[in-house]
Amino acid sequence: MEKHDVVIIGGGIAGLTLSKFLAEYGIDFVLLEEHNDFFKKACGEGITRFIAGYDFFDLYESKAGIEKYIEETNIYTKYGILQLYMPVLMTDKREIESELARQAMKRGADIRMNERVEKIEWNGKFILRPQNIEAKFLVGADGIFSITRKFLGKGKLRCAIAVEGLSNEVKLDDEKIHIEMKKSIVKYGYSWFFPKREKWNIGIGSISMKEFKKAFNEFKKRHRVERWKAGYVPVSKPVEPYGKNVILLGDAASQTITSIGAGNMPSMICAKIAGDVIKKFSAHGFRDIDTKEYGNALRPITKMLKQDHNLAFAMHFIVRNEYLIHKILKKYIRQASQYYKKLEREKGRI
């Protein structure tokens, strides 16, 4: 039987970022991805540059796949336009994931495509079927329908549903992101217009399936795209992401910003933290390790994600009134804009 210290299930942005760090640390691992190419799922392809004190460029160390550097977002509510200053990278996400894989493989990583893990067994070590690979430590970076989360006996996640597509018919300022937060467009969600280098990634999503269906029917009458792609975004609070010798990462652990349905940068941050904890476990030969350390190391980001989750649900289900939501957003946006301007001054534009 083939043996490794670590197996990562899932080659999305979470698993690939982790593989980059594990390869850098010289840890023996293999990553198994079920698809034959990267970026098979729907995504708006925007990455918020700064979150929880982390800078995307410190995690990614490349400019490959970055199509635009956007600083301003217009948020359209029923009561006016709110202007948020927040650096966002508009990307070609397939290229971002391929670049992460290239960086990892340059450092010796073993990334295998077309390898769907069907079954996880535990007998003091993990055995993955049908690959027949044995591992001391397992990472489930296997997305929203995670087989690893199921193995850990953790329940299903609450999800929003969203669709996106590429369009070249948008007539808006292409140096800005545009977000519609109006109940007349969609309840319990928003629609977006993200400028890429040549086209726009546009889409709409909602926490409510019923509201989503109604809203999407109208949205697709107004906007034409090459092909609509649908997907789920976890909107549960982050789950306890560990069990004996196993951890969860990214969407599998609901490590997303509920209010904006963003999981790219949080997944990368959690992957960096996971990499550092695994490095420590590796120094002990993965014996007598306590995976709770991963939960502890994640605490600051988990706290931020939980606060955001509570705020998002309070806005949708308690405040409800669109005028009050506009007022709350206005206050939040003023504070957030100041914070991001300061960070960007310190770190430089790119």
Please give the backbone phi and psi of residue 291, each rounded to the nearest 5 degrees, phi first. Answer: -70, -10
Contact flag: residue 65 with ligand FAD (CB under 6 A): no
Span 123-142, contacts to ligand FAD by CB under 6 A? 141-142
Residue 336 near residue 73 (C-beta atoms within 8 A): no
Residue 85 beta carbon to ligand FAD: minimum distance, rounded to whole angstroms = 18
DSSP 262: B
> Could you give the count of Cα atoms lying within 13 Å of 104 in the half-sphere of its Cβ?
29
Kindly tell me which of 272 and 327 has the beta carbon lying closer to ligand FAD: 272
What is the smallest separation between the CB atom of 148 and ligand FAD, expressed in angstroms? 8
Q: How far apart are CA 120 and CA 130, in angstroms?
A: 9
102/334 with CB nearer ligand FAD = 102
| Out of 65, 87, 189, 250, the residue judged to bind ligand FAD by CB under 6 A | 250
Place of tokens 């206005």: 330
C-alpha–C-alpha distance, residues 165 and 143, integer Å = 21
Binding of residue 241 to ligand FAD (CB under 6 A): no
Tokens of 12: 């999305």
Question: Of the candidates 19, 206, 245, 256, which one interacts with ligand FAD according to CB under 6 A?
Answer: 256
Backbone angles phi, psi at 218, to 5 degrees: -75, -40
Three-state DSSP state, 215: helix
Pairing of strands 176-180, 189-195: antiparallel
Name the strand (E) or helix (H) holding 175.
Answer: none
Mask for 195-234, x = binds ligand FAD (CB under 6 A):
--------x---------------------------xxx-
Q: Which of 46, 65, 165, 195 binds ligand FAD (CB under 6 A)?
A: 46
75 binds ligand FAD (CB under 6 A): no
* 34 contributes a contact to ligand FAD by CB under 6 A: yes
Among 67, 99, 180, 251, contact with ligand FAD (rule: CB under 6 A): 251
Q: Which is nearer to ligand FAD, 233 or 274 (CB)?
A: 233
Q: How many helices (H) and strands (E) does the chain have?
A: 9, 18
What is the nearest approach in angstroms of ligand FAD to the Cβ of residue 252? Answer: 6
Which of 189, 241, 263, 275 is in the footprint of ligand FAD by CB under 6 A?
263
> Taken in order 266, 272, 276, 279, is the CA torsion positive or negative?
positive
Q: Pick out residues in 82-121 that bind ligand FAD (CB under 6 A).
A: 116-117
Alpha-carbon gap, residue 215 to 190, rounded angstroms: 10
**Interaction site with ligand FAD (CB under 6 A):** 9-15, 32-35, 40-47, 116-117, 141-143, 147, 162, 164, 203, 231-233, 250-251, 256, 261-265, 267
